[in-house]
């Protein structure tokens, strides 16, 4: 993945109110080792926004570097099939990191079934500042034994599966339990990343990143949760999920 783009120097109005840290150095080659090492493991069929949303926020964070790793080096397919990501390193090459972020999607099924990967997650977790998940990535944390007795969230469709690992499910978009942070379905990864940015830097910096990506949700519909969706919407998503399962 390319290094995070620099803030345009011509954007004087933004630059005047942005944090003084040099965002242009984030993830740039030839720089000193980043103070914050963020690792995102990818398996085939990962959910794109689970990854791209948090990446957009965290890679701009001053002093941060985001690394993508996988079971093997090479391209990893996304759940929709048109956004493959090249992974330059294997997860086994990572001995420690500051932040571990597990995305969801159908990739979570393969992660949960991979005993070596779960053992790696447990080892990495012992030295992280924060261990995080987006969507069904929380099932991976659960399978690794990291959520027993903790309140956690996940995609609404995986609530029962999350509870089977001893977690207490809540529909909240972002939940922090000590150094473990879980977020609900897909788009909530952006919320989680902004909250994480505030913890790792400060609230003003996190708000500056929010301004830069212009994250000011004003959706045309109010059906983004089970509590708000109508019966007709719930019926339609059931139909769509059935169609998607036949296309896999």
Helix (H, G, I), strand (E, B) or coil at 181: strand
Q: With the CA atoms of 216, 196, 173 and 238 taken in that order, what torsion angle do they form, in degrees rounded to the nearest 10?
A: 90
Termini Cα distance of the chain = 26
Separation of alpha carbons 46 and 13, rounded Å:
37
Angle ∠(101,106,112) on CA atoms, nearest 5: 65
Q: Is 97 one of the catalytic residues?
A: no
Contact present, 94 and 115 (Cβ < 8 Å): no
Cα gap 227→126, rounded to integer Å: 36
Catalytic residue among 42, 69, 79, 135: 135
183 and 133 Cβ atoms separated by less than 8 Å:
yes
Query: Across-strand partners of 74?
Result: 87
What residues are labeled active site? 135
């Amino acid at each position: 993945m390319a290094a995070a783009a620099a803030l345009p120097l011509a954007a004087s109005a933004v630059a005047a109110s942005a944090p003084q840290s040099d965002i242009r150095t984030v993830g740039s080659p030839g720089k000193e080792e980043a103070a914050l090492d963020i690792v995102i493991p990818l398996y085939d069929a990962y959910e794109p926004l689970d990854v791209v949303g948090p990446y957009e926020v965290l890679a701009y964070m001053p002093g941060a570097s985001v690394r993508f790793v996988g079971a093997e080096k090479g391209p990893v397919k996304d759940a929709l099939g048109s956004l493959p990501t090249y992974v330059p390193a294997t997860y086994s090459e990572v001995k420690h990191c500051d932040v571990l972020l597990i995305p969801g999607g159908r990739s979570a099924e393969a992660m949960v079934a991979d005993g070596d990967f779960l053992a790696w997650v447990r080892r990495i977790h012992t030295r992280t500042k924060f261990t995080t998940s987006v969507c069904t990535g929380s099932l991976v944390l659960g399978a690794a034994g990291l959520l027993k007795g903790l309140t956690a969230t996940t995609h609404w469709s995986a609530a029962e599966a999350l509870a089977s690992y001893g977690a207490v499910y809540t529909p909240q978009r972002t939940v922090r339990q000590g150094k473990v942070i879980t977020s609900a379905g897909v788009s909530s990864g952006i919320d989680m990343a902004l909250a994480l940015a505030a913890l790792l830097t400060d609230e003003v910096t996190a708000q500056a990143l929010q301004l830069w990506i212009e994250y000011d949700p004003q959706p045309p519909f109010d059906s983004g949760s089970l509590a708000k969706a109508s019966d007709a919407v719930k019926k339609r998503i059931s139909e769509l999920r059935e169609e998607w399962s036949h296309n896999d």
